[in-house]
Structure 1
Amino acid sequence: MKLEKKDLSLMYQLDANYRRSYAAIGKDIRMSEQLINHKIKRFSAEGIISGFRPLIDYSRFGLYSFIAFFRVSYQSEDAFNELIASVKKEQSVLSLMICDGSYDLAVRFAASNPSSFNKQFKRMLSEFPKLRVRMILTVVVEHQFLRDYLVKKQRPLDVVVGGDRPQLALEAADKAIITALAEGNRKTIELSKAAGISAKTCVVRLKKLEEQGVVKGYRLALHPRKAGISTNLLLARFRNITYEQEEQFTYACKSHPNIVSFIKTFGQWDAVLSVETWSRLEFRKLVLQLREQFDAILDDTDTIRIVDFIWKQSVPDGVLGEEKNGQ
């Protein structure tokens, strides 16, 4: 579908903070609450958005994250979709990306430590022999940025998730609030009801979770392809990089409107950039610009086209005291 300028402005506002009231959003983009509600329903019906997702810092739960890339022994589209559905049910899976090119599937996991991940991963591989591992990257830290390209702005907001952060002991009410957020609830009354607490107490607890860095933001579960947006991963390997040069590279990513995340990794590649553009040509231009600007430190790059993105949950099943969360 063709999206109008007002549609993109609304998506940008929702992706920046979907918990803002429709009245406040409408005031910023000059749109009535009724029209906002109508457009959100239309976006949902057309599969452009599948709801809302909180940005939770998994490191606050003592978790580490990993990205595994697979080739799949392909038989039919139905068999492939069944495999995707089965992998999604795995306890430690956070999200999946269906790819085109050298890899068929990229899966994001979270586990308490590398040993725990290794055990779960090997068990999963034994259950799904059609999955052929091609690469595993350990996430060191990730930077999440706003989708500035939607409104042609440069607002270098940097939300850092993961890394070496102390684990926090959360109370049952806090976990219930996070679970309710992961299930797509956005209003305080919905969160308080799910947690069994008053609305006033819910506001106080949620603010504390934000201040503690547990809840880092409120993002839109967007399906770029259905909005006519091309998504690609840019893999980068550095050589002889200094701290100052790494900071410069991070700032360049943060400042570019089409780079929506920068993940520092350990393994075959040092960084994974998620890039959203209106065309492959625009993406190609971005890659060449980065290679020219950082030729002194970029040893090699590779690209992966993302066909579809499937978000499951913020933290693994069971961490919040529920068997399922965010599905």
Structure 2
Amino acid sequence: MGIKLDYYDKKILFELDKNSRIRISELAKKIKKSKQFVNYRIKKLEETGIILGYNTVIDYSKLGYTSIRVYLKFHNITPQEQQEVENDLINDGEVWWLVTLEGMWDVGYAVAVRNILDFHSYWDRIMKKYRKFVSRSSVVVYTNIKQYPKAYLIGEENTGPGTIVGASTNIVKVDKADLSILKLLSENARTPLIEMAATLKASPQSIRSRIKKLEEKGIIQGYRAKIDVSLLGYRYYKAYIDLRDTRRFGTLEEFCLRHPNILNTNRTIGGKDFEIELQASSFDEFERIMNSIRERFSGDIDEYEFVVARKEMKMKYLPFKT
């Protein structure tokens, strides 16, 4: 059983998950409450650990980076040694996402690299250090990651477009000031303009203008709340789907976009044909969702595998040096 939330808490979480830089006044209008009410509720959600922070979704491909995902299965390792390996990976500058897993893998993470040779150097370094603990591994290249807000919080289908990262071949030129802004926003998407201006020794107006341009160029794809859904009684599942017919990708993606529990769809090179990430209140609910997909796309889906996420340990779109 998770923490029980009322309508207003759920609506606030959903709106912050859609746009965590939303102004308090605008959020107050959406839920028809005062700014003081909204501020109080957000503070309580932060204090209880339901809101862990605020992410800025940065399209690393527009900065000239490719994302590669690694799964590791450990053996011949103590719990303390595994914790040390995980902490080392979390602190690694190339790693922008890391989750601990149950099932066929123990840990999954993503690294941002300029090219495949950079990844080879990184992989060589990791294997020299930890090969004795790794019984098997999987390495795939992300070609795109689409993300959608947690519409299940308000019991509705998702209607927003979501965000997409990793799919651009157009590298956008940015300067040091832009990168400084991106780094601040990657730490906390709700950092006030005045605070950013003081840190960067610039005017709030110039910071606002640069942020707007970064959004227009698609480098900043959006802003999302980092929510600990385990406190709400939900778990994180990832399914890997093999397709018999890949011609209906568009229809499958549209189905996933609208489904309130599906939060990510991924395409990769070297992995399964299609991947989805979803959150469900029980394994039975997860199974019902997967069965609904199999029924809706009967004849297209060959088989699927899945893992269960224990805990997302890192999600930061700009941890790497630029």
- TM-score (norm. length: structure 1): 0.91
C-alpha change, 1:280 and 1:32, in structure 2 (3 Å) is farther
Residue deviations 1:211-270 (CA, integer Å, cap 9, x gap): 00000000011222122211100111223322xx11111111111111101011111312
1:20 corresponds to: 22
Q: CA deviation at 1:193?
A: 2.5
Task: Write out aligned runs for 1:150-229 (5 A).
Answer: 150-154=153-157, 155-186=159-190, 187-229=192-234
Aligned-residue identity in percent: 24
Is contact 1:176–1:194 with CA below 8 Å preserved after alignment?
A: no
**Alignment partners' CA distance in 1, 2:45 and 2:78:** 30
Q: CA deviation at 1:113?
A: 1.4
Q: CA deviation at 1:75?
A: 4.4
**Amino acid of the structure 2 residue aligned with 1:52:** Y
C-alpha change, 1:112 and 1:84, in structure 2 (3 Å) is same
For 2:134, which of 122, 131, 135 is the aligned residue?
Answer: 131
For 1:284, which of 260, 272, 287 is the aligned residue?
Answer: 287
2:55 corresponds to: 53
Task: Write out aligned runs for 1:1-327 (5 A).
Answer: 1-73=3-75, 75-129=77-131, 130-154=133-157, 155-186=159-190, 187-242=192-247, 245-319=248-322
**Alignment partners' CA distance in 2, 1:41 and 1:121:** 41
Q: CA deviation at 1:312?
A: 4.2
- Single out whichever of 116-125 and 308-317 deviates more from structure 2: 308-317
- TM-score (norm. length: structure 2): 0.93
**Alignment partners' CA distance in 1, 2:249 and 2:189:** 37
**Alignment partners' CA distance in 2, 1:235 and 1:147:** 20
**Alignment partners' CA distance in 2, 1:128 and 1:134:** 12
Q: Secondary structure of the equivalent of 2:246? A: coil
**Ranges in structure 2 where 5+ consecutive residues have no aligned partner:** none
Q: CA deviation at 1:162?
A: 1.3
Is contact 1:234–1:302 with CA below 8 Å preserved after alignment?
A: yes
**Ranges in structure 1 where 5+ consecutive residues have no aligned partner:** 320-327
Q: CA deviation at 1:109?
A: 1.2
**Alignment partners' CA distance in 2, 1:158 and 1:145:** 5
CA RMSD of aligned residues (A): 1.7
**Alignment partners' CA distance in 2, 1:15 and 1:132:** 37
**Alignment partners' CA distance in 2, 1:219 and 1:203:** 18
**Amino acid of the structure 1 residue aligned with 2:275:** V
Q: Which runs of 4+ in 1 moved over 3 A?
A: 74-79
